[in-house]
Amino acid sequence: GIQVEQSPPDLILQEGANSTLRCNFSDSVNNLQWFHQNPWGQLINLFYIPSGTKQNGRLSATTVATERYSLLYISSSQTTDSGVYFCAVGGSYNTDKLIFGTGTRLQVFP
Amino acid sequence: GAVVSQHPSWVICKSGTSVKIECRSLDFQATTMFWYRQFPKQSLMLMATSNEGSKATYEQGVEKDKFLINHASLTLSTLTVTSAHPEDSSFYICSTGRLPGQNNSPLHFGNGTRLTVT
């Protein structure tokens, strides 16, 4: 099956810093989503981005499907950005069946 | 977008008892739902695909007799953890599949259920 690796596994930032999170996947995908899991476990959908670039406020994401990676950019980080960020992909045959990456745990300190 | 309601948000049960978790699609009829499990400090792993009106499809390594899935209506899937043991303590979360023609929209998840077996 598809393998999904994220880097870095852990990231510690001071408030106001920028960061880039990476997601590599091993095969073609027709679905890619970035999630933020808050301390209560809720998965907040950030982007649906199987290809291309999207921006939403301080967050943006780019997926280069042909090279099998996606990037999540967080600018001017805030303490509320803390949590775990997951990318999840859906393969060609069943795009609704998501395979989650290993996650990046982000801690933002004031 | 789809709204998914999951209940309960947390449950504590004694070893040997069974626990039922509900996942509801609130704004559309979901023929397919998915159940995931997340152990502490780990990623989410797909357990099974719940199919309305037919048997669930389980991922390799997931015991179908232990994790009973029922998808009796187009808006409700239930996961029952039977004869729960402490090692079943985990975070369980569901998502709905998308309707045909919605392949360019994101998948939505419930808020999850934290199960603790004592």
Judge whether residue B30 has pLDDT over 90: no
CB-side neighbour CA atoms (13 Å) of A59 = 16
Judge whether residue B13 has pLDDT over 80: yes
Answer yes or no: do B44 and A86 touch at CB < 8 A.
Answer: yes
- pLDDT band at residue B29 under the 50/70/90 scheme: confident
Alpha helices in chain B (DSSP H): none
Answer yes or no: do A100 and B111 touch at CB < 8 A.
Answer: no
> Which chain B residues are closer than 8 Å to A31 by Cβ?
103, 107
One-letter amino acid for residue B50 of the chain: S
Q: In A3-57, which ranges are E strands?
A: 4-7, 10-14, 19-25, 31-37, 43-48, 52-56
Q: Which of A31-45, B15-29, B90-104 has the lowest mean pLDDT?
A: B90-104
Answer yes or no: do B108 and A45 touch at CB < 8 A.
Answer: yes
Residue A98's pLDDT is 94
Of the candidates A33, A41, A96, the beta carbon closest to that of B112 is on A41
Work out the minimum CA distance from B62 to partner chain A, whole angstroms.
16
Judge whether residue B1 has pLDDT over 60: no
Q: Any chain B CB within 8 A of the CB of A98?
A: yes
What is the phi/psi pair of residue A34, to 5°?
-105, 135
Query: For the residues B17-22, what does the mean pLDDT come to?
Result: 98
β-strands A104-109, A10-14: how paired?
A: parallel
Judge whether residue B2 has pLDDT over 70: no
The residue ranking higher by pLDDT, B3 or A72, is A72
- pLDDT band at residue B24 under the 50/70/90 scheme: very high
Judge whether residue B48 has pLDDT over 90: yes
A11-64 pLDDT per residue, tens: 999 999 999 999 999 999 989 999 999 988 999 999 999 999 999 999 999 999
Tell which B residues from 54 to 83 touch A, by Cβ distance under 8 Å. Answer: none
Residue in A94, A43, A34 with CA at minimum distance from that of residue A63: A34
Closest chain B CA to residue A34:
B106
Tell which A residues from 36 to 75 touch B, by Cβ distance under 8 Å. Answer: 40-43, 45, 48
Q: Any chain A CB within 8 A of the CB of B37?
A: no
Cα B14 from Cα B116, distance rounded (Å) = 9
Cα A14 from Cα A49, distance rounded (Å) = 28
Residue with tokens 């023609």: B101
A69-110 pLDDT per residue, tens: 999 999 999 999 999 999 999 987 777 899 999 999 999 999
